[in-house]
Amino acid sequence: MSASEPVLSVRNLTVEIGTRRGTARVVNDISYDVHRGETVAIVGESGSGKTVSALALMRLLPEPPARVGGRVLLDGVDLLRGSERELCRIRGHRIAMVFQDPMTSLNPVLTIGQQLVEPIRLHLPLTAGAARDRAVEMLHLVGIPAPRHRLDDYPHQFSGGMRQRVMIAMALACDPEVLIADEATTALDVTTQAQIVELVAGLQDRMGMAVVWITHDLGVVAGIADRVAVMYAGQVLEEAPVDALYEDPRHPYTTGLLASVPTPGIDRPHRLFAIPGLPPDPVALPPGCPFWDRCAVRGEPRAEFTPQPLRPVGSDHQVACSCAGPAARHG
Amino acid sequence: MAESTGPLLAVEDLRVRFPVRSTGLVRRHSGEVSAVDGVSFAIGRGETLGLVGESGCGKTTTGLALLRLVEPSAGRVAFDGTEVTTLGARALRALRRRMAMIFQDPYASLNPRMSIASIITEPLEIHGLHRGRQHRRRRVGELLELVGLSPDYGNRYPHEFSGGQRQRIGIARALATEPDFIVADEPIAALDVSIQAQIMNLLEDLQDTLGLTYLFIAHDLAAVGHISDRVAVMYLGRVVEVADRAALFEAPRHPYTRALLSAVPVARPQVERRRDRIILGGEVPSAADPPSGCRFRTRCPVVFDRCSVVDPVLARQQDGHQVACHHWPGIA
Residues B256-290: pLDDT tens digits? 999 998 888 888 888 888 888 888 877 778 888 88
Are A209 and A258 contained in the same domain?
no
> Would B171 be classed as within a structural domain?
yes
Backbone angles phi, psi at B145, to 5 degrees: -65, -40
Categorize the per-residue pLDDT at A41 as very low, low, confident or very high, splitting at 50, 70 and 90. Answer: very high
Straight-line distance from the first to the last Cα atom of chain B, in angstroms, rounded to the nearest whole number: 37
Per-residue confidence (pLDDT) for residue A135, from 0 to 100: 92
Instruction: Give dist(CA A64, CA A18) in Å, integer.
Output: 8
CB B69 within 8 A of CB B92: no
Number of H helices, E strands in chain B: 10, 12
For residue A329, the model assigns a pLDDT of 41
Chain B positions in Cβ-Cβ contact with residue A157 (cut-off 8 Å): none
Under DSSP, is residue A38 helix (H, G, I), strand (E, B) or coil?
coil
Closest to B167 measured CA to CA, from B116, B98, B105? B105
> Is 80 exceeded by the pLDDT of residue B22?
no
> What range does the domain containing A125 cover?
1-226
Percent of chain B with pLDDT over 70: 95
Range of the domain at B164: 112-178
Which of B180, B133, B169 lies closest to B7 in space, CA to CA? B180
Q: Which residues pair with B99 in a beta bridge?
A: B181
Shared domain for A239 and A200, answered yes or no, is no
Q: Which of B236, B233, B246 has the alpha carbon at shortest distance from B322?
A: B233
Domain assignment present for B88: no
Please enumerate in sequence order all residues whose Cβ is within 8 A of that of A223, keeping only pairs 6 or more positions apart, or say none.
Answer: A197, B265, B269, B272, B273, B275
In order of A90, A150, A153, A201, the CA distances from A94 in angstroms are 5, 26, 27, 18
State how far the Cα of B287 lies from the Cα of B29, in Å rounded to an integer. Answer: 16
- In a domain? residue B8: no
* Confidence at residue A111, expressed as pLDDT on a 0 to 100 scale: 92
The predicted pLDDT at position B107 comes to 83
Residue B79 near residue B120 (C-beta atoms within 8 A): no
Last residue of a domain, one of A169, A191, A226: A226
Min Cα distance B204 → chain A (Å) is: 9
Q: Which of A4-8, A101-105, A190-194 has the lowest mean pLDDT?
A: A101-105
Q: For A261-272, write each residue's pLDDT tens digit.
A: 887 665 555 777
Nearest CA in chain A to B251: A265
pLDDT at res. B325: 93
Is a pLDDT exceeding 70 seen at residue B29? no
**Residue B65: what pLDDT?**
95
Together in a domain, A205 and A241: no
Average pLDDT of chain A?
Answer: 85
Cβ of A160 and B260 within 8 Å?
A: no
Asked, for residue B207, whether it belongs to a domain, the answer is no
Q: B72: cis peptide before it, omega within 30°? A: no
Would an 8 Å CB–CB cutoff place A156 in contact with chain B? no
Three-class SS state of B172: helix
Q: Is it the case that residue A48 has pLDDT exceeding 60?
A: yes
Ranking A29-38, A187-196, A320-329 by mean pLDDT, the lowest is A320-329
Q: What is the CA radius of gyration of chain B?
A: 21
Decide if A143 contacts A161 (C-beta within 8 A): no
Q: Please give the pLDDT value at position A122.
A: 86
A with B: how many residue pairs have Cβ under 8 Å apart?
Answer: 128
C-alpha B284/C-alpha B326 separation (Å) is: 20
Residue B210, C-beta contacts closer than 8 angstroms, at least 6 positions apart: B175, B178
Looking at the DSSP bridge assignments, the partners of residue A318 are A239, A312
Give CA angle at A300 (A299, A301), nearest 5°.
125
Do A119 and A266 have their domain in common?
Answer: no
Residue B128's pLDDT band (boundaries 50, 70, 90)? confident
Buried b / exposed e along A296-316 (16+ C-beta atoms within 10 A) = eebeeeebeebbbebeebeee
Lowest mean pLDDT segment, chosen from A218-227, A241-250, A268-277, B34-43? A268-277
Q: How distant, in Å, are the alpha carbons of A115, B14, B41, B44, B184 from that of B8?
A: 54, 16, 11, 5, 16
Nearest chain B residue to A43 by CA distance is: B193
Let me know whether A197 and A294 are in one domain: no
Q: How many CA within 13 A on the CB side of residue B252?
A: 19
Asked whether the bond before A279 is cis by omega within 30 degrees of 0, the reply is: no
Taking CB atoms and an 8 Å cutoff, what residues of chain A touch B267?
Answer: 218-219, 221-222, 246, 258, 261, 263
CA-based nearest distance A276→chain B, Å: 8
Q: Is the predicted pLDDT of residue B88 greater than 90, yes or no?
A: yes
What local confidence, expressed as pLDDT, does residue B69 receive? 92
Name the minimum distance, in Å, from the CA of A240 to any CA of chain B: 13
The DSSP code for B21 is: E
CA of B6, closest CA in chain A: separation in Å? 25
- The Cα of B162 is separated from the nearest Cα of chain A by a number of Å equal to 8
Of A178, A198, A226, the residue at which a domain comes to its end is A226
Q: Are A162 and A178 in contact (CB under 8 A)?
A: no
CATH number of the domain that A79 lies in?
A: 3.40.50.300
The total of structural domains in chain A comes to: 2
Q: Which of B83, B95, B44 is CA-nearest to residue B211?
A: B44
- Cβ(A227)–Cβ(A247) under 8 Å? no
Q: How does DSSP assign A130-171, residue by residue?
A: HHHHHHHHHHHHTT-SSHHHHTTS-GGGS-HHHHHHHHHHHH
Could you tell me if residue B120 is inside a domain?
Answer: yes
| Predicted confidence (pLDDT) per residue in A297-307, tens digit | 877 777 665 66
A192 contacts in chain B (CB < 8 Å): 54, 283
Nearest CA in chain B to A221: B267
Percent of chain B beyond pLDDT 90? 58
pLDDT at position A303:
66
Residue B139 located in a structural domain: yes
B273 vs A contacts (CB less than 8 Å): 223
Give the chain B residue whose CA is nearest to the CA of A218: B267
The closest of A66, A10, A14 to A235, measured between CA atoms, is A14
CB contact under 8 A, A260 and B260: no
Say whether B192 and A45 touch across the interface (CB within 8 A): yes
Q: What local confidence, expressed as pLDDT, does residue A146 receive? A: 83
State how far the Cα of A322 lies from the Cα of A320, in Å rounded to an integer: 7
Phi, psi torsion values for A19, nearest 5 degrees: -125, 170
Say if the ipTM goes beyond 0.90.
no
Which among A159, A225, A273 is the nearest to B283, CB-wise? Answer: A159
Q: Is A112 exposed, middle or buried (0-12, 13-18, 19+ CB in 10 A)?
A: buried
Picking from A193, A226, A259, the residue at the C-terminal end of a domain is A226
151-180 in B: which are within 8 Å (CB) of A? Answer: 162, 164
- Going by C-alpha positions, the residue among B183, B186, B188, B293 that lies closest to residue B238 is B293
Contact between A151 and A116 under an 8 Å Cβ cutoff? The reply is yes
- A 10 A CB-CB count for B54 gives 19
State mean pLDDT over A210-231. Answer: 92
The rounded distance, in Å, linking the Cα atoms of B93 and B69 is: 11
pLDDT digits (tens, 9 = 90+) for B211-248: 999 999 998 888 898 899 999 999 999 999 999 999 99
Residues A87 and A171 in one domain: yes
Residue A207 backbone phi and psi in degrees, to 5: -105, -5
Mutate to test the interface with A, among B55, B193, B206, B273 (most CBs of A within 10 A): B193
> Domain check: are A219 and A134 in the same one?
yes
Please answer whether residues A274 and B198 qualify as being in contact, where contact means their C-beta atoms are separated by less than 8 angstroms.
yes
Digit-coded pLDDT (tens) for B136-171: 899 999 999 999 888 889 899 998 888 889 999 999
User: Are A204 and A259 part of one and the same domain?
Assistant: no
Closest chain A residue to B261, measured at CA: A264
Query: What's the number of domains chain B is made of?
Result: 1
Q: Is residue A84 domain-shared with residue A197, that is, in the same domain?
A: yes
Q: Of the candidates A156, A145, A176, which has an alpha carbon nearest to the alpha carbon of residue A112?
A: A156
A258, closest residue in chain B (CA to CA) = B267
Contact A160 B259 (CB under 8 A): no
> Which tops the pLDDT comparison, B190 or A137?
A137
Residue A39's contacts (CB-CB under 8 Å, 6 or more residues apart) are: A204, A210, A211, A212, A213, A224, A225, A226, A227
Q: pTM of the predicted model, to two decimals? A: 0.82
| Across A210-239, average pLDDT | 92
Instruction: Please tell me the predicted confidence (pLDDT) of residue B129.
Output: 87
- The whole-angstrom distance between B122's CA and the closest CA on chain A is 28
Are residues A35 and A122 located together in one domain of the fold?
Answer: yes
Least confident range from A27-36, A133-142, A182-191: namely: A182-191
User: What's the rounded mean pLDDT across residues B5-22?
Assistant: 88
More confident residue, B84 or A327: B84
Do A35 and A126 share a domain, yes or no? yes
Gap between the Cα atoms of A255 and A244, Å rounded? 12
Distance CA B193, CA A175 (A): 34
Examine residue B126 and state whether it is found in any structural domain, yes or no.
yes
At A68-88, the pLDDT tens digits run 999 999 988 898 988 888 888
Mean pLDDT over A150-161 rounds to 85
Per-residue pLDDT, averaged over A31-39, amounts to 92
**Residue A214, amino acid:** I
Residue B55, exposed/middle/buried by CB under 10 A (0-12, 13-18, 19+)?
Answer: middle
- In this structure, the answer to whether residues A63 and A160 fall within a common structural domain is yes
Task: Please tell me the predicted confidence (pLDDT) of residue A42.
Answer: 95
Check if A230 contacts B (Cβ < 8 Å).
no
* Residue of chain A with shortest Cα separation from B53: A189
| Residue A169, pLDDT above cutoff 90 | no
| Angstrom distance (rounded) from CA B69 to CA B77 | 13
DSSP H or E run through B315: strand B315-316
Q: Is residue A2 pLDDT above 50, yes or no?
A: no
